[in-house]
């Protein structure tokens, strides 16, 4: 995997939203592995540095979530990167908070970022799904994912999880997704499932 994409919405207003955990993960990876400052390229923010024995690209599309595919496609075309060498990190409401899954290919499950990417580059890319939980009612999904993580969530599982992802990402990039997921699980303890409160802070 040469191109690692984190999905989110640009700007301080959205920085701590559940929908932006992809951006949070990319920032953690960049800090942990000494990537240089992000530059504005390909309708996104891009940084490049060696990681796990190869130069990797980190990308945060700045097109807003619904048009993420434009940024991903421009970067992939310029660097001639095939879909199977792309990893997309995104929030997943169908996983409980703190759970993480990695797979190649599949559907978009209604995620607007993936829905934007699929028609442009196809579906044969890797996805890192980070669970943020579900509000319990379909109509509350949008306000829920656009709500900030609470301080409790950040301390309890968000920051430990993205730190574990950053520490162990080399396993995944070298082609060992099962070892990566096992190591992240060993380093973190997702919170016990409890009913989500969609509009609380």
* Active site residue ranges: 19
Distance CA 54, CA 67 (A): 29
- Beta partners for 3? 57, 86
Distance CA 104, CA 88 (A): 10
Whose CA is closest to 186, among 168, 173, 174, 198? 168
The 3-state DSSP class for residue 65 equals helix
How many other CB atoms are there within 10 angstroms of residue 108's CB atom? 15
Distance CA 186, CA 199 (A): 32
Task: Report the relative pairing of strands 86-92 and 44-51 from DSSP bridges.
Answer: unpaired
Structure tokens that stand for 79 in this block: 């660097």
């Amino acid at each position: 995997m040469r191109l690692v994409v984190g999905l989110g919405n640009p700007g301080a207003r959205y920085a701590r939203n559940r929908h932006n955990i992809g951006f949070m993960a990319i920032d953690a990876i960049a800090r942990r592995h000494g990537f240089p400052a992000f530059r504005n390229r390909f309708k996104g923010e891009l940084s490049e540095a060696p990681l796990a024995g190869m130069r990797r690209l980190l990308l945060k599309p700045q097109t807003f979530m619904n048009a993420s595919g434009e940024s991903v496609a421009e970067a992939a075309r310029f660097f001639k990167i095939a879909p199977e060498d792309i990893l997309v990190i995104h929030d997943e409401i169908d996983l409980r908070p703190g759970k993480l899954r990695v797979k190649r290919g599949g559907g978009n499950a209604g995620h607007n970022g993936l829905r934007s990417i699929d028609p442009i580059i196809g579906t044969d890319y890797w996805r890192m799904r980070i669970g943020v939980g579900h509000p319990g009612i379909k109509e509350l999904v949008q306000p829920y994912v656009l709500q900030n993580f609470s301080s409790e969530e950040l301390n309890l599982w968000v920051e430990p999880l993205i730190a574990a992802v950053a520490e162990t990402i080399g396993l995944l990039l070298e082609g060992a997704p099962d070892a990566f997921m096992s190591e992240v699980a060993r380093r973190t303890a997702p919170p016990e499932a409890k009913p989500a409160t969609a509009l609380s802070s």
